[in-house]
Structure 1
Amino acid sequence: MKRILVTGGAGFIGSNLSLKLLSKGYEVTVLDNLSKQIHGECPDVTSPLYNSVKNRVNFILGSVTSREDWLQALDGVECVVHLAAETGTGQSMYEIQKYVDVNIGGTALLLDILTNTKHSVKKVIVAESRAIYGEGRYYSDDLNEYVYPAERLDEDMRKGDFEVKYPGCRKPLRLVGTTEESLVHPTSVYGITKQVQGQLVHLVCSSIGIAPVSYRYQNVYGPGQSLSNPYTGILSIFSTRIKNGNGINIFEDGKETRDFVYIADVVDATILGIEKEEANGHVFNVGTGVAIDVLTVANTLIEKYGIKVPVAISGNYRLGDIRHNYADITAARTILGFEPKWNFSDGIGKFCKWVNEQEVQEDKYEDSIEEMKRKGLYK
């Protein structure tokens, strides 16, 4: 398979993937709507990601919600890497129809076309998300089994009690890596849409003789990610705050953790899914297998930039946020031969070096907080 379609191919993951595919001799088509939230008002001027690919790929300005755009983009393509999506857990809780229409509707439209028209597609790779798991996997010493806590209660978090709970457990639960077989119980509209995307792709593609593969990416970061989008990526949000000399508001108690995976590792894992037949039919977590707490992230960024700003552990929280989650990547290691090459220390250093070379972006964080307050999601 040499002709690849990357939807969302002008985005952060998509542009990096497209460039790596080009370097390996693939022919790449990109379908992207150049969302203003990601690419700015004038992408030719404001989007380095778009500019990095626009003259090197077969670029189609269009939407995954348009049948005509899909038909144009699929012409002659042998593999689809479906990355295009509305992203952001908080924003998804009030832009519900938009997230469902794009993420679920766009995927359904692709599969409808593949089922009912002539094409050359042999494989579909879809980006799910760690958000489909909701809370991560834990071990209960009281029950001597793995458990999956439900969404945390507003009444508990209002009192500053942020840790997860599980019925019948008195001892603190022990966080362990989330496997692909872990319970899927998303706590956001975004997570639900990514869950359904993956289910649709595996169900339909398997029934029509197309190989399905899905990736559950953890928190992807690195040079090139949007520094102006206040809805996704705490590394970008914190960096823009620091660069503007603004303080950082740490939600909850700062001990909440995520698995931060460097963009180059995400690209390598995705290409393994394109090239390896062994990937067909599988779901893969893509992360580092290491949990990093948010307070560590903030302090590391402040140190790297050499700009001292106040850090407030405020106890604020967002409804729908999870407490902890990090990936068990055994399946990717075993089946794909994937091994992350970047640890957090090296990756964050590379990211900060790149940020220092960029113009300081307008800090829109407070606007996003006010919007969540109006929707009753920020406490």
Structure 2
Amino acid sequence: MRNKVLITGGAGFIGSHLADDLINQGYSVRALDNLSEQVHGKNCDRPEYLNPEVELMVGDVRNPEDVARALEGVGYVFHLAAMVGVGQSMYEIREYTDVNNIGTAVLLEALIKNPVKKLVVASSMSIYGEGLYKTPAGELTTVPERTLEQLKTADWELYSEQGAKLEPIPTPESKAPCLSSVYALSKYDQERLCLMVGRAYNIPTVALRFFNVYGTRQALSNPYTGVLAIFASRLLNNNSPMIFEDGYQQRDFVHVRDVALACRLAMEKEEAAGKVFNVGSGNNYTIREIANRLATVMDKPHLAPDVTGKYRVGDIRHCYADISLAKEVLGFYPQVELNAGLEELAQWLEGQIAYDRVNEASAELASRGLTV
């Protein structure tokens, strides 16, 4: 019984890879998933990629009966179920708050009645807002959000009060949150709720702040998912990847199998309890570079990025992970190098059909004044 693991959102992109990893390590896995249309398409029963050994319960994390049923006989819980998307969260406010915040509250009330050996919750790099920076003099500094006046002049970078351009550096867990979207607020709420309730009821709890996760099984037809999946969808349909601002914003791209590894280590390491960890690759790349590299491995280098020069409300300029704490406490060392990960993704993409809804999503944001 105590070797059984529940993954909420377990039929999704990260959850299914985590299930594979856990099953390979001898754990028994149950997934609770509502198989939402935005992620899985219409009339999805059970994703073909989901490991046949996974016990799939179709249900909603906001439904106390579904959650109570899913927790029966379970020793560990990974809470991955969430609505994901910075842009969409800025207008589907109730849905994001309902799924992410209320769903977490329902799960925690059930865990109070049925405590487990460990709860691991998926948080997000989005809670940082802008990453950490340093001044020309070498001093560390945090920055406020860029003003609309600045962005309207296509001046994308961050500056000190004296007007000197700031240099981005790896962001550690100690950086104070700066919540610039409804999605970021909801992820911070999930993280804090789990750690708070876990401490109060003696349920060892770990929060993992995922950076930009990529790999096979991403929802290619969901225009609000990870940037690499969105680029892949465009390229599969022979369209250029669409990039906001100037494309030189920097992010950390981490392979989904490395994320699954970090999740399992957080579950297995006793010393992880009560802590928050960044889960990234520890490397940084510009969005332009990522678009070009993906186009190359997909044999479509002629599809150069379409750099829009527009700003999307809630977006930040630079943020990439300092993963030294995860290395030290979890023994987490990313295994999948970016080139190898992109090659694997390209091979998988050859057999996929993607509906390119990026223009549709962009028009939705523009109509609401969420792009500038």
Q: TM-score range by the shorter chain?
A: over 0.9
Aligned-residue offset at 1:156: 1.0
Indicate yes or no: 2:166 matched with 1:165. Answer: no
1:7 aligned partner: 8
2:109 aligned partner: 112
SS in 2 for 1:43: coil
Letter in 2 for 1:278: E
2:96 aligned partner: 99
2:64 aligned partner: 67
Aligned-residue offset at 1:309: 2.1
Moved more, 326-335 or 306-315: 306-315
Letter in 2 for 1:209: N
Indicate yes or no: 2:137 matched with 1:136. Answer: no
Equivalent residue runs for 1:232-251 within 5 Å: 232-251=225-244
Change (3 A) 1:348 1:139: same
Aligned with 1:153 (options 127, 141, 147): 147
1:41 aligned partner: 42
SS in 1 for 2:42: coil
2:354 aligned partner: 361
Aligned-residue offset at 1:54: 6.7
Equivalent residue runs for 1:1-379 within 5 Å: 1-44=2-45, 50-53=47-50, 55-115=52-112, 117=113, 119-142=114-137, 145-166=139-160, 168-307=161-300, 308-356=302-350, 358-379=351-372
Contact kept, 8 Å, 1:151 with 1:320, in 2: the verdict is: no
Change (3 A) 1:77 1:246: same
1:137-176 per-residue CA deviation (whole Å, 9 max, x = no partner) reads 011235x53211111112211111011234x233211111
Q: Distance in 2 between matches of 1:268 and 1:310?
A: 34
Root mean square deviation, CA, Å: 1.4
1:54-77 per-residue CA deviation (whole Å, 9 max, x = no partner) reads 742221111111111111011111
SS in 2 for 1:125: strand
Q: Distance in 2 between matches of 1:230 and 1:200?
A: 29
SS in 2 for 1:128: strand
Contact kept, 8 Å, 1:3 with 1:26, in 2: the verdict is: yes
Q: Distance in 2 between matches of 1:157 and 1:120?
A: 48
Contact kept, 8 Å, 1:265 with 1:342, in 2: the verdict is: yes
SS in 2 for 1:363: coil
Letter in 2 for 1:133: Y
Contact kept, 8 Å, 1:262 with 1:347, in 2: the verdict is: yes
Q: Distance in 2 between matches of 1:288 and 1:339?
A: 8
Q: Distance in 2 between matches of 1:146 and 1:371?
A: 38
Q: Distance in 2 between matches of 1:313 and 1:112?
A: 46
SS in 2 for 1:52: coil
1:267-293 per-residue CA deviation (whole Å, 9 max, x = no partner) reads 111100111111111111000111110
**Aligned residue pairs, count:** 370
- How much identity, in percent, do the aligned residues show? 42
Contact kept, 8 Å, 2:243 with 2:308, in 1: the verdict is: yes
Aligned-residue offset at 1:299: 1.1
Contact kept, 8 Å, 2:209 with 2:278, in 1: the verdict is: yes
Contact kept, 8 Å, 1:251 with 1:317, in 2: the verdict is: yes
Moved more, 237-246 or 362-371: 237-246
Letter in 2 for 1:330: S
Letter in 2 for 1:161: D
Contact kept, 8 Å, 2:292 with 2:304, in 1: the verdict is: no
Aligned-residue offset at 1:253: 0.8
Change (3 A) 1:137 1:328: same
Contact kept, 8 Å, 1:132 with 1:192, in 2: the verdict is: yes
Contact kept, 8 Å, 2:20 with 2:51, in 1: the verdict is: no
Superposition TM-score, scaled by structure 1 size = 0.94
Contact kept, 8 Å, 1:77 with 1:120, in 2: the verdict is: no
